[in-house]
Amino acid sequence: MTRCKSMKCGMTSMRSTTAVDRPSRLDEFVRYGVVVLWVCVSAFCVEVQAADVPESARSPKPVHQDIVEAVGKAKLSMLYQGNSAQECRSWQDTFSGKLAELLGDSTPPKKWHATEESRADCGDHVRYELLLEAEGVPSVPVYLLIPRKLATGQRVPGVLCIHGHGSYGNDPVAGRTDLEGVPKDIERFKYDYGLQFVRRGYVVAAPCMIPFGRRVDRPSYGGNDPCAVTFVRMQAMGQLPIVANLRDLRWSIDLLQSRPEVDAERIGCAGLSYGGRMTMMASAIDQRIKVAAVSGALNLLQERMTLRHSCGSQMIPGLLKYGDYSEIGSLIAPRPCVWETGSTDALIVPKWDEVFRSRLRRAYASLEAADKLHFDKFEGGHSWSGRIAYPLFDEVLNR
């Protein structure tokens, strides 16, 4: 009996302990309800937060898409919006100052000399191969074309003729049909406008820019774009290819003005493709250029960076904060300028080209020089025309 009582007491004690430790059904229900409520509230909060986040930010996009969107929203804070001559001149002063700040110094060397590498009698003109040299500055190869039929002491206008992209640099512009591969480029792009200008009686300077022609070793780039690689390398030194080329083009104007055959006050500039872009740049920066022909370069940087890539040799870091190529082109006003575009040129984008034209028209109209702005929309592709350019140069430079 004693044992039974002891066992009974133990069982009673065990039942009592279990009853205290085990949660009742009501407790379990309450706890379960709390958990469910917490989960629902948490899910609702996450849903609300997700709804507050734009769809575009919920998952990472390729960097290309991010850049395209950013370029499309570029400020262009210094677009010209005026109508009067005074407003336009004031804007030109301000924007040209900002452009100079973005570019840096493009002044050619003050002390320099030209080394003659060769000369050739080409019948109606003499072709010189020169090397412009100065201390601390890379040498620049330049073709100098001088008409044969010049009277003693006669001074004629000079034209700076600028080449575009391609393996042959300035060779096609000078009409070097004796060099392998050059005749095909001349035929395809009507590329020998330097030769055509000298045959019209002008002294022509046709320099070679970087990274083209003699000034690039393409095999060393391993198939990479020399323009892109050169841009990156020069940026590491705080330099820009477009500024180096601008300096060399202005140096070539110095060459023209130093020649006894040239009237230093009558200088023109012409170029195709990248040569057109650099014609725009040189004419905007250097007031010595009295007339310009920009061919195959009616592109906006905003358009190119939105729809495709742009050449490293054309890049001006920070430009889209303030303006575009159209604003640089507007700095040429009120001087005469013709912009050539081929009807089948795939590099000229419809609608964007009209944006460019409208901005140019506003500047020229403000300066009461609408008749000095010309557009040559010719039948053809990405090539030189000259249909309006040649007579325009004759009119302006041979007065």
Domain ranges of the chain: 19-55, 72-397
Mean pLDDT of all residues belonging to the chain: 89
- Alpha carbon distance 178, 171 (integer Å): 10
Average pLDDT over residues 250-256: 98
192 alpha-carbon distance from chain centroid: 24
Q: Quick one: pLDDT at residue 399?
A: 85
Q: Quick one: pLDDT at residue 306?
A: 87
Instruction: With beta carbons less than 8 A apart as the criterion, state whether 324 and 253 touch.
Output: no
pLDDT in tens, 158-210: 999 999 999 999 999 999 999 999 999 999 999 999 999 999 999 999 999 99
Average pLDDT over residues 245-260: 98
- With a cut of 60, say whether residue 53 has pLDDT above it: no
Q: Where are the alpha helices (DSSP H) in the chain?
A: 2-21, 25-52, 63-72, 85-103, 182-189, 193-199, 226-235, 241-258, 274-285, 301-307, 325-330, 352-366, 389-397
> Considering only CA atoms, which of 277, 132, 273, 278 is closest in space to residue 215?
132
Q: Which amino acid, 362?
A: R
Do the bridges between strand 137-147 and strand 203-207 make them parallel or antiparallel, or are there none, so unpaired? antiparallel
Fold of 72-397: Rossmann fold (3.40.50)
Q: Quick one: pLDDT at residue 37?
A: 38
As given in the structure block, the two tokens for residue 327 are: 């604003």
The sheet carrying 113-121 orders its strands as: 113-121, 125-134, 137-147, 203-207, 156-162, 262-272, 289-295, 337-342, 373-378
H or E element in which residue 375 lies: strand 373-378
Average pLDDT over residues 77-100: 98
42 alpha-carbon distance from chain centroid: 51
pLDDT in tens, 330-376: 999 999 999 999 999 999 999 999 999 999 999 999 999 999 999 99
